[in-house]
Amino acid sequence: MLFAAEVPVPAVGKVRDNRKAGLDICPERMNSHQHSSPQTALQGATILGPGSPELPPPELDRAVDDALRLLSPSTGGIVVLVNDPQRHTATNAILRLIAERIAPGRLRVLVAAGSHPAPPKAARELFERSVLAGITRAAIQWHDCRAADLSAIGPADPSTAVWRGHPWLLESAGVLAIGSVEPHYFAGWTGAHKTATVGVAAHDDIQTNHAMALSPHCCPLCLDGNPVAEGILAMLGVLEAARSVAAVNLVQAGPDILAAAGGSARTALDAARPPAEAAFVRRIGKPVDALIAEVAGPLAESFYQADKGIKNNEWAVRDGGCLVLVAACPQGIGQDQFISLLRRAATHAEAVAAVESAGYRLGDHKAVRLRYLTDPACRAVRAYVVSEGLSPADAALLGLLKAPTVAAALADAGIRPGRDSVLHAHDAGNLCAMPSATSQRS
C-alpha cells in the first residue's frame, strides 16, 4: 500500500533566532527578492520566506578550487554539467571562475535537462547566452534523455550497464557538476549529485529511480533510507568509478548566493546542507488551518513544476484544512503522463490501482500524491489555485478549485485569518515548512 508507513520527518538541528534564520513574520521584513503582492498579502497570516541567515560571504573561488583539485583538466579537458532553466542557479558565476583556471578550448558545457524537454529555440539560445556570458571557446549541448547515442555507465559490457548517460560523461578527462541545494519533496535534497546523475541519464533510468518516489520513505530533507536518494547516490558511485567527478554546490535565495561548497559531489552536498537548512527549512509547532503556497520564478511556469510548492509544505496544513497555491503557470498544467493519470483516476485509490496495473511512468508519483492530499478518504485538504495560466477546467482536473484571489479562496473555505491559523509560504518551491512531528500515512 502506498503511503502506508509512518515516517517521522528528520530533525534539522539547532534552530537559529528567527530573524537570523530568515523567519519573516511581516511583509516589511521580507528580503528584497521576496514580496507580498496586494493580492496575496493578508492580515493575520504568518509569513515565512527563504532568508539570508548570518553566514560568512560565500567563497566561490575556494569552492571552484576545491572542485578542480579533484580533476585534471590539462590532460583532456572537462565537461561541466549545469542545471536547465527550470532551476534558478547562478551558473555563469561559477563557469567564469572555472574558465579562468583552465586552458581555452578544454571546457564543454552540458545542460543537464533530465527528462525535461528542451525549450523553444529562442528561449534556448537566450539561456545559452546567459550561461556562457564572458566565456570563449566553450561548446554547449543539451542532454536528451531519449537520444540514441547515450553511453553505458558502468561495466565495459554495455548489456550490463548500470545506467546510461550522455556520451560527454565518458569523453572528457573529468566531470564537474554545478548544483543548487534546496529541500526536495521526494529526493530529500537537490544538488550536484542529482545534476550528475538523473540530470544526464536515459529516460528509462530516470523513470526507474523516480518510481521509488511512491515510497513513504521519500520526503524532504531525508537521504538515509530514502530509496530515491540512495538510488541517485548509487548512480553517482558508478560514474565516479568510471571518471573523476567533482562538484560545486550553491545555496541561493532568489538571485542571492548565500553559500558555496566544492569538492566531491557528496562532500559538497554535506557542506551545503547546513546553510540550506538555515535558509529554507522552517519548523512550526503544529499543522495550520490554511497554507498559502506562493511559487514564482522558473518553478511557476507550469503546475507540474509549481506543485513542488505544495509537496514541500503539504504537511504544514492539517488534515481537512485548506491549501492555496499561487503560481502563474503560463505553460498550463504540463507533463502529459501526469495529466493522463489524473484523467483516469479521480481518487487516490483509483490512482494507486492504475499505477499498479499499468506500471509506473514518469509523472505518476505527482498524480498519486496530489490525489492523496485532496481525496476526502485520505487527507481531505480543500485545495485552491490562484493562477492566470490555469482554467477552471484545468483546476477541476487537478482536484482543485480556481479562485480569483487568495482572500476569495480562504473565504470560500470558511477560513478567517486571525481566528484560524494561516501560514503564507513565499518561494514555496524551495521553502520547506514542517510541523515538529509529522507522519505520512494512508
What are the pLDDT digits (tens) for 196-233?
999 999 999 999 999 999 999 999 999 999 999 999 99
**pTM summary value:** 0.86
Buried b / exposed e across 224-262, counting CB within 10 Å, b at 16+? eebbbbbbbbebbebbbebbbbbbbbbbbbbeebbbbbb
Q: Give the whole-angstrom CA distance, residue 259 versus residue 60.
A: 8
| Structure confidence at residue 56 (pLDDT) | 78
Mean of pLDDT values over 261-290:
96
Helix, strand or coil, per DSSP, at residue 82: strand
The overall average pLDDT reported for the chain is 87
Q: What per-residue confidence (pLDDT) applies to 15? A: 26
Distance between CA atoms of residues 127 and 141, nearest Å: 12
Q: What is the pLDDT of residue 33?
A: 36
Return the SS3 of 161. Answer: coil
Q: What are the two backbone dihedrals, phi and then psi, of residue 240, each rounded to the nearest 5 degrees?
A: -65, -30
Residue 23 has pLDDT above 80, yes or no: no
Instruction: Determine whether 136 is exposed, middle or buried from the number of CB atoms within 10 Å of its CB (0-12, 13-18, 19+).
Output: exposed
What pLDDT, on a 0 to 100 scale, did the predictor assign at position 52?
64
Q: Kindly tell me if the per-residue pLDDT of 320 is higher than 70.
A: yes
Rg (CA), the chain: 21
Domains plus CATH for the chain?
18-51+285-435 (3.90.226.30), 60-277 (3.40.50.11440)
What pLDDT band is residue 28 in, cutting at 50, 70 and 90?
very low
pLDDT value of residue 336? 87
pLDDT at 44 over 80: no
